[in-house]
Chains A and B, each alone.
Chain A
Amino acid sequence: MTTETNKPTVDTRWQSLNSDWANDKETFPMPWGKLMMWIFLLSDTFIFSIFLTGYMNVRMSATEPWPNTSEVFALTIAGQHIPLILIAIMTFVLITSSGTMALAVNYAYQGDRKKTFLLMIATALLGASFVGMQAFEWSKLIHEGVRPWGNPMGATQFGSAFFMITGFHGIHVSAGVIYLSIIANRVRKGHYEGKGYHIVEITGLYWHFVDLVWVFIFAFFYLW
């Protein structure tokens, strides 16, 4: 802090929590954009939670049997029948991309523009391949006759919830890929020299969130 604030000196944890909140000027020591991203993600968490709650509810209200997901999402590779293999790869790819993103943030704060740029692009590419695999999965299911309004394997809600939730998440990933590419390009051009590299961390927050959401979708939709 360059300017003095009314923050009293503190010795216990409670007091320091209290003084943060009682502080003038800033409640959280972080840039505006970062706090705004946190709040946005909190709101977005509610959106996804409600999607998932809605899905679980219709899964219970559905009158026809729910298809066995590990069978539906199995692939036959080289004669081997492997359940959930594609989803496992997709999950792996997305989690890897969180790793590259974290590295990018690290290098950004060190001021290493080149590495930051490359890592962000790597993250974006991993994200794009995730979307690609999702497109493959969609086309496979569509090929097998699953539609938002119908499902030869049982409850129609299976198709509806599948396309809606993975679609909404896929839009988030795609938006993230675009966002990452724009910011990465600006990093490369030196747009943030002097302004600081918080923006990379903010982008990272969004990206980790999208990954985290996927973990929940994976657990609740595919594994259950």
Chain B
Amino acid sequence: MEHVAIADQVEELHNPSSFISKYVWSQDHKVIAIQYGITAILVGLVALVLSGLMRLQLGFPESFDFIDPSSYLQFVTMHGMIMVIYLLTALLLGGFGNYLIPLMIGARDMVFPYLNMLSYWTYLLAVIVLLASFFVPGGPTGAGWTLYPPQAILDGTPGYDMGIVLMLLSLAIFIVAFTMGGLNYVTTILQARTKGMTLMRMPLSIWGIFVATILGLLAFPALLVSAIMMLFDKLLSTSFFMPAIVSMGEQLDYTGGSPILFQHLFWFFGHPEVYIVALPAFGMVSDVLAVHARKNIFGYRMMVWAIVAIGAMSFVVWAHHMYVSGMHPAFGFFFATTTLIIAVPTAIKVYNWVLTLWRGNIHLTTPMLFAIGFIFTFTHGGLTGLFLGNVVIDLPLSDTYFVVAHFHMVMGVSPILVLFAALYHWYPLITGKMFNATLGKLHFWCTFLGTYAIYLPMHYLGFLGVPRRYYAMGTTDFIPESAQTLNASITVAAILVGLAQLIFIANVIWSIFKGEKSGPNPWHATSLEWQAEQIPPAHGNWGEKLPEVHRWAYDFSVPGARDDYIPQNMSNDDVPLEPGQTLQIREEH
């Protein structure tokens, strides 16, 4: 069958003209990306405020009347869920995925822009349903972000009535939104690359987003199905997850269900979710490091295969979250082994980031600071992960602050640092303006040092046995008084870090209006998005012709070339040379 690559077919670009079709019901991937981004950051701020409230309670118990044990649990739950799903997943894939994919692979837009637009509006609906649960009788659910039944839907848990229903509903809507976007991202990357852009020439950002999206498409089904089954348990009194149970002195109608089934389903989604968040961050941080160290990423191929291997393996480690569920020791052994194996490709990535810096021409710009900060926090969180991956060490540490410290380092702070690196790095592309570098660096140091002030002591609290999800420690014998002092100091640091984010917000808003014009390619980057005719790129991204790609995205500091970077769309013949030199391109990586 005669078949023309669709990207080559001449088709008419619809050019939206009215304000509404341009900025509200927009089908342009860049506008959708910004809509996703702003929405995600706004709900993220809600989650940040919730964490501040929790910290106030933990640092200074009995000083705040409006926080009672129930509302504390509700804060924990909403904070965790919003951060993981509605902020990180949405911002990394809906935001950066949307913005970067077409630009970095040389496409004019996503393959199905209309579906892409629906994805955003559905996401917004999910956010609204989620936030609505703050205003229903009983408030939002307090079941913890893991939503384990039976307690999630039983009397005694805050929000067991309407809160949990809205939460499950919102998750289901989110998954629909994600699927519409995700199908677009994967198909666009596979089918809409420009001439010369082979898979092995794609920037690592795209690889990270690509594999993460596939993980999402395969992992979210588990969450969707468990949400449906739990909704049935709640609303129709089925007994999928509910065993025969006595609640508040009363025998309930449930019988014969399996709460452990929920745990398996949840973590079959939950662990890949960690990588849905981590892989795009891995990708973007690789690109930021290479650009600002003026050096090719070390071991590009290895980086790609590591992303793929981590993605594949992430489906066979889920039960390391369930060591305390009473599972068979053989399973514990199996899951501990896979967990430790997955650390190998992860470690390869860390080595390669460090080796990229080695003998690079490091520019300590704001994005670079955040990227280097990420290497620290991620290594740190990764190492504690090795502890928790072992059954015997996990058993005593499970459900203590050690776990809270671990996952905040590895999947809380680390992706957030990359997000900041990425936001600063691509800010000139998105807005055409330069942010204020001094404020940017101030923001970095407050956030980075503050992070350690918050989370390092938490490891220690965990060793002491301070449990997670506790409203107050009360008079627990084995926990020394000094733990309270530590808690107070963590709270002070957390409040300062929270406030430091205002610097970022102020910088972003101020620079849009008052920032200097950034010019076309302020970081002298090689990847395609910076080579668009206009910055920010116009609707349709490229002019008459699509760019043609001649090289990978990492030709920095090539011997013989006049500039220390060669854009991907420049052919060898066009590269300006040092007088009297020839270009010494190494073998195609």
A: residues with CB less than 8 A from B are 1-3, 5-6, 21-33, 35-36, 39-40, 42-44, 46-47, 50-51, 54, 57-58, 61-64, 148-149, 155-157, 159-161, 164, 168
Contacts and interface: CB of A to CB of B under 8 A. Distances in A.
A62 B256 contact: yes
A54 B225 contact: yes
Contact of B112 (A1, A32, A64, A160): A32
Contacts of A157: 238-240, 256-257
Given A30-B3, A64-B255, 11 more contacts: A5-B5, A24-B194, A25-B191, A36-B187, A39-B186, A39-B217, A43-B220, A50-B225, A156-B239, A156-B256, A157-B240
B317 interface: no
Contacts of A148: 232, 236-238
B479 interface: no
Contacts of B200: 22
B236 A149 contact: yes
Contacts of A5: 5, 195
Contact of A63 (B199, B237, B255): B255
B92 to A, nearest CB: 19
A58 B261 contact: yes
Given A40-B183, A43-B179, A43-B221, A58 B196 contact: no
Contact of B4 (A2, A33, A42): A2
Nearest to A63: B256
A160 B191 contact: no
Closest 10 pairs between A and B when the two form their complex, measured CB to CB: A160-B238, A46-B221, A61-B258, A149-B237, A47-B221, A63-B256, A62-B256, A32-B111, A43-B217, A50-B225
Contacts of A35: 187, 190-191
A24 B232 contact: no
Contact of A3 (B8, B199, B237, B268): B8
25 contacts: A2-B4, A6-B195, A21-B199, A22-B198, A22-B199, A24-B197, A25-B5, A25-B7, A27-B190, A32-B111, A32-B191, A32-B192, A36-B183, A36-B186, A42-B218, A46-B218, A46-B221, A50-B222, A54-B229, A57-B258, A61-B261, A62-B256, A149-B237, A160-B239, A164-B238
Nearest to B8: A3
A157 B220 CA distance: 24
A57 to B, nearest CB: 5
B258 A58 contact: yes
Given A40-B183, A58-B256, A149-B236, A27 B5 contact: no
Interface string B434-463: 000000000000000000000000000000
Contacts of A62: 256
A72 B251 CA distance: 30
Q: Which of B6, B218, B221 has the most CB of A within 10 A?
A: B221
Contact of B195 (A25, A42, A168): A25
B256 A64 contact: yes
Contact of A164 (B186, B226, B232): B232
B229 A164 contact: yes
B255 A27 contact: no
B228 interface: yes
B265 interface: yes
A157 B241 CA distance: 10
Nearest to B6: A32
B54 interface: no
A22 B197 CA distance: 9
Nearest to B262: A54
Q: Which of A3, A5, A25, A148 has the most CB of B within 10 A?
A: A25
A18 B81 CA distance: 41
B179 A28 contact: no
A8 to B, nearest CB: 11
Interface string B282-313: 00000000000000000000000000000000
B532 interface: no
A26 B195 contact: no
A29 B1 CA distance: 10
A173 to B, nearest CB: 18
Nearest to B261: A57
B473 interface: no
A26 B218 contact: no
A109 B197 CA distance: 31
B194 A25 contact: yes
B228 A6 contact: no
A58 B44 CA distance: 37
Interface string B320-333: 00000000000000
